[in-house]
Structures are given as structure tokens and as C-alpha cells.
Amino acid sequence: MDQQNGVQIEDLLKLKFVSDPQLSPDGKRLVYVVKEINEDKKYQSNLYMMDVATKKVARWTSGKSMDINPRWSPDGSELLFLSNRTEKMQVWTISASGGEPEIVTDMDHGVSNPSWHPEGHSILYQFTNKKDEENGPIIVDQLRYKADGKPSLTSQSYEQVAQITLDTKEIKVLLEGDADYVYSSYTNDGSGIVYVKFEEDEPESYIQSKVYVYEFDQKPKAISEIKGTLSHPVCSPDGRYIAYVGHDQKYSHATYNELFVYDRESDSTQCLTGKLDIQIGDVMISDLHSIDMSPSLTWSNNSEQLYFLASEFGNTELYAIDLFGNVDKMVEGDRHIYQYAMDDDAKDVYLAISTPAHPGDLVRHDINSLMEEPLTYHNEKLLCNITLSIPEPVQYPSQDGTVIHGWMLKPNDFKAGEKYPMILYIHGGPHMMYGNTFFHEFQCLTAKGYAVLYLNPRGSHGYGQTFVNGCRGDYGGGDYHDLMSGVDHAIESFNWIDSEELYVTGGSYGGFMTNWIVGNTNRFKAAVTQRSICNWQSFYGVSDIGYFFTKGEIGVHMEEDPEKLWYHSPIRFVKHIETPLLIIHGEKDYRCPIEQAEQLYIALKQQKKPTRLVRFPDADHNLSRNGDPAMRMARLEQISGWFDHYRLIPKTSRVANI
């Protein structure tokens, strides 16, 4: 069979998303999740079971539902998992010997984050305590009243915690009230729980949280010392320590996470990572894996070490740290380790890995020998019949000497001596990171004959605290020069790039930068702005995060300096925009609401500038990553179609220099 030259848009339907490996207590079996797109072009996911010794794999659940989050019972006799088989996500259990799953919970609005009691007789879970909606006005009294991805107003609901006893089905609500309780799990002996509570006593304090330990025979006790954003508490096997991650918001949303350990015996807390200038957690951007900044904290059996994921220089890798702050990179490489499971002796680790040439599968890594063994091949059929473009790292000085890192993908039909168009693709966040992971969209563009340049300008994670803080208060300043210097470097370094055939796109912050770029230069032949910000003054009041994100990133509240918000608004340059601009936006995007797209479109259309607005019904801010598959493919067709159209038109016939 002839190989297909490059990835096609419809290949999205063939990809398998392998995730969440969980090793049985005896270390003999591995359960994991495979998500795919079925014949109805809808997502479904099922559990798969592997015999570790024989590597034999069996599908453990079936059907068109979403079965996720498998967790072994303490004795290894059964599994719990979440499933929407009854429409809402509920806890189900299934025997480790096979058979039909049984439903455990029946909450009106579904549940999340389930975990076993250490003795296996109960399950802890999180549920939404939602006020009944009535016809008539909805009264809002707090700043945080909506959230992207949630269809109803969050002021009408709170996240609460309960447990259910399996034999009696008795439900006991453990945490309730007008606050959100999240990241809950049992203590080592099941005599209590640890959790995070979001504070809402003051106007802005909802972005602050505290870690609590709640022994059931005592009152809950706050154990975190800093005021900031904290998450993912986990109790050590011996019960003495509670580890969690977070930061004091010193640099607002650009603040690096630290790893804290609370000693229950001495009632004291230490920061283990004070000298470690990396971002704890997975901040890699990909269109195949939903953004999950979880550090995947895991204690060693002797309670003397912690394992966690961290992101650095375009890679997400596995680290270990002891109680004295000594750090060891356990598993490294130019790749994206997005999840893992470790055996009791910490000799073998089962990794979910993606690379620029592979969407993701499981491998076994021997800690001592460093040897790796592929375990699953769910994407093998697709990969065997497709040629991919493999990225080449680039590195260059920006205008002020700051070193910028990124990658270049050649077109799939590359031939020496010929010239090719190039797309500058800008990531969102801005405090996220491009890196060594698979990108379906990038591969689709190279298959259509484009080079793709993707960079980590200042503001990106992976290059230290100073670097990630570099764009705050300066959007459109140093970051703009980082990107333009990258384009210059690419043209100078790759003589096959056609400098008259340059294109630019990006989403969220990348959409902001696309808007800023076309308002400040005409060097790009066409552009696509996606789920973007164009006006910080209106964004401040309409986004679900606008009223605190704006202060954190631009530096001021609306009432403090509205002119500064206007200064950093790309729509300020709308009369200068000559680049044909496609505007893509989701109708239900609460992060960057669609009014941002509408403003820009009307301002351009009124001037008879070349533009088009494409609205995606029911799509939120995450359309490109986990939106409806048909809509995702339609989005890619719009982007590539826009660039293809202007590729056929001589640049000199439609733009003049500003």
C-alpha cells in the first residue's frame, strides 16, 4: 500500500487518544482509557485491560458512552470509573474479573473525582449542588458567576463532597455550603479527607484557595500557609505528610508552581522546590490532549519521595524529589509525558507519551536500565500509512537579545531548490508551552504544502520564572518582537521559505497576537484570528476571567487606567489592518466571548476590508482541542481554505505598506 503523503483533516476520525494508565495493587495488570471518534462522529471512550506479563490487551468496557477515570479498589478485586451511560457522569464499578458494570451514584448533575476508601467499603466523590432554575430573572450577587465550558451560571451552583457506602448505598455529604470544595481524597487510613476550598469572602479572593485536612472526629483544619492558588493535595502512605502544589500569585497567572509538604506531626510546612526554576505540571499545548496542568503527585511507598510531572524547554518529563529538596529527573527526553503509573518499588514506570511523530501510546520504562518497551499500538495502523513532517528546533535572539526557542515543520512535499509558503502559528495562554508533542492541525497544514513555524515567545512556560513573566504589562511589546524576529530568523535560516508567502494565525492569546500583528505590519499575506481578544476594555467585563485576568496580565483594573487597557487593544489599530483576516469564534465561548469577534468584524467590514466571520454554534473556548469532531474538522477546513485562497492571489495586488 502506498503511503499517504501527510495527515489529512479527516484523519482526526482515525486517531486514538490513549490515557490514564492505572496499575493494579499487585502490579500484574494495567487498565487505561482509549478515546476515539465513532461512526456518528461523536467521542466515545472505553477501558482497556493489559496483562503486564504477557502484554495481552482486552477491551474491558464497550459502547458509545464516555468511560473514564478508572481506579483500582484497594484489594484489586474491582474498578470504579466514571461513565455517562445514563446521560450524566456517574460512578460505576466493574469486577476485575470482567462482567457487567454496576451504577453506584445517581446525582442529578453528575459527579467527578471519585476515589476509594483505603478499606474499599466506600467511595468519595465530588458533586454539583445546583440551585433549581426557575422561570424569571436570575439574580447574581458575586463576581464569579459564569465559567467557560459550563452551560449554566456558576453563581447558582457549588462543588461539594460526599461519600457513598457501597453495601448500604448510604450517602453522607461531607462538605457543603456556599463554597467550592475540590481535589478531595481520603487520608492514608480513611479517617478523614484532604481537600481544597476556594475562598470567596472578599471580592477577589475566589482566585485564592486553601488546603484543609478534615479528620471526621474533628473540625476541618487549614494547613496551607501562603495566600494564593493551591491544588492537588495528597496524603503520604504513612499518614505523616500532605503534599500539594501552588503559588502565592506573586506574578499573577505567570507565577511558577511550587511543591509544598505539610508535616502533621510538627504542624509545619516546607517548600521543596524553592531552588527549582521549572513549572510543576503539564503545560504542553496539543490539539489531541485536553490541557491538564495536573502535576500527578505520587508518593513513594516509604513516604520519603514524591514523583511529579514538570515542563521545561518544550518537554514534559517525570521528576522525583525527596523531603530535603534533592531533585532527580527520573524520565527525560524530547517528548510529552502526559501521564504515568509507577509500581510499588519504583522500578518500572508506565508512561503515556506523545512525540511530534506519534499521537500517544503507552510504554514501560525501566528506571535502572533506562530501557523502554512499547506496550500499546492503538495508533499503529494510521501511522504505518502516513508520512509525517518532523520538526526541526530553532533558536535565535529577539530584538533585545532574549533567546527564543521554537520549531519549524517543513511541507510534506518539500523539494530542495523550491520555495514554500510559511505559517506562523502562535499559541494561547500566554502562559503555556509549545513542545515536543503531536499536533494534528500542524501536520494537516504541512500536508497542504505549508511550512509551520511555532515558537515560545516571552510569556511562555518552560524557560524560567523571569521569562514566563516577561509579557505581563507589555502585551504587544517584547512578545511581538520575539515573533517577528522569529519570522526574520526563519527566512534567513531556511532559504526555501518564500518571504512573499507568509501567513499568521493563533487562538486565544495567539488570536490577540494575530490581531496585533496585522494591525502593525502588512508583511503577512493573509491571517486567521481564533477565539481572540481585540478590546481589553470590553473583555474586562464580559469574560469569565476578565475582571482579574486583565489586572494580572495588563496591570490595571478598568477603573484604575482605562487608557492602558485601550493602549494594549488591537482594535485600536483597525484602520491600519489591510491583511485579509478570517475571524473564527465559538458561540458559547465565555473565556473570550464572541462579542470580541463581532467588534473586530464590524469595524473591518464597515471599512470594506477583506474579512469574514465564522461562528461555531455551541462551541466554547476549547473547540480546537475537545470540541465536536465535525466542528473541529470544519474549523480546519476554514483555516486552510482561507490561506489557500490567498495563496492564489499576488500579494502586490491587494495590499500597500502602512
pLDDT of residue 89: 97
| Residue 74 near residue 68 (C-beta atoms within 8 A) | no
What is the pLDDT confidence band of residue 200, given thresholds at 50, 70 and 90? low
pLDDT at 627 over 70: yes
- 41-45, 274-278, 583-587, 611-615, range with the lowest pLDDT: 274-278
CB 68 within 8 A of CB 135: no
Residue-level pLDDT at 133: 62
Task: Transcribe 379-419 into DSSP letters.
Answer: THHHHTTEE-PPPEEEEEE-TTS-EEEEEEE--TT--TT--
CA distances from 129 to 84, 94, 177 (A): 18, 27, 9
84-130, pLDDT tens digit by residue?
999 999 999 999 998 999 999 999 999 999 999 999 999 999 999 87
pLDDT at 363 over 60: yes
Mean pLDDT, the chain, rounded, equals 94
pLDDT at residue number 141: 78
Neighbouring-strand partners of residue 503? 423, 526
pLDDT class for 653, splitting at 50, 70, 90? low
Nearest Cα neighbor of 611 from 543, 540, 514 is: 514
pLDDT at residue 393 greater than cutoff 80: yes
Tell whether the model's pLDDT for residue 480 goes beyond 50.
Answer: yes
Other CB atoms within a 10 A radius of the CB of residue 79 amount to: 25
Give the whole-angstrom CA distance, residue 555 versus residue 575: 26
User: Which comes out higher in pLDDT, residue 396 or 147?
Assistant: 396
Percent of the chain with pLDDT over 90: 87
- Residues 348-362 as b/e (b if ≥16 CB within 10 A, e otherwise) read bbbbbbbbbebbbbb
Q: Is pLDDT at 75 greater than 50 in this prediction?
A: yes
Which pLDDT score is estimated for 657? 32
Locate all alpha helices (DSSP H) within 175-273, ordered by sequence: none
Per-residue confidence (pLDDT) for residue 202, from 0 to 100: 53
Distance of CA 482 to the CA centre of its chain: 23
Return the C-alpha torsion angle 324, 326, 330, 332, nearest 10: 140
Nearest residue to 52 via CA among 253, 348, 474: 348
- Cell 459527579, residue? 111
Contact between residue 433 and residue 441 where contact means Cβ atoms under 8 Å apart: no
Q: Exposure of 604 by Cβ count < 10 A (0-12 exposed, 13-18 middle, 19+ buried)? A: buried
Q: Count the neighbouring beta carbons within 10 Å of the beta carbon of residue 605.
A: 14
Residue 135's pLDDT band, with cuts at 50, 70 and 90, is confident
pLDDT at residue number 154: 65
The catalytic residue positions are: 508, 621
With a CB cutoff of 8 Å and minimum separation 6, the contacts of 649 are none
Range with the lowest mean pLDDT among 185-189, 207-211, 247-251, 597-601?
207-211
* Fold topology of 388-534+569-652: Rossmann fold (3.40.50)
Give residue 509's pLDDT: 98
> Looking at the predicted structure, is the pLDDT value of residue 164 above 80?
yes
pLDDT at 658 over 70: no
Q: What is the mean pLDDT of residues 420-439?
A: 97
Q: Is it the case that residue 655 has pLDDT exceeding 60?
A: no
> What is the chain's length?
658
Average pLDDT, integer, range 522-538:
98
pLDDT tens digits for 311-357? 999 999 999 999 999 999 999 999 999 999 999 888 899 999 999 99
**Helix/strand/coil for 567:** helix
Read off the pTM: 0.95
- Give the pLDDT confidence score for residue 115 in this predicted structure: 97
What are the tens digits of pLDDT across the range 270-302? 999 998 999 999 999 999 877 677 889 999 999
> Which among 511, 354, 484 has a CA at the least distance from the CA of 430?
511
- For position 178, what pLDDT does the model report? 84
Q: Evaluate whether 379 touches 359 at the Cβ level (below 8 Å).
A: yes
* Domain extent listing, the chain: 388-534+569-652
> Could you read off the pLDDT of 575-589 as tens digits, one per residue?
999 999 999 999 999
Least confident of 39-43, 60-64, 142-146: 142-146
Please, which residues bridge with residue 93 across strands? 80, 102
Burial status of residue 465 (CB atoms within 10 A of its CB: 0-12, 13-18, 19 or more): middle
- Give dist(CA 36, CA 14) in Å, integer: 8
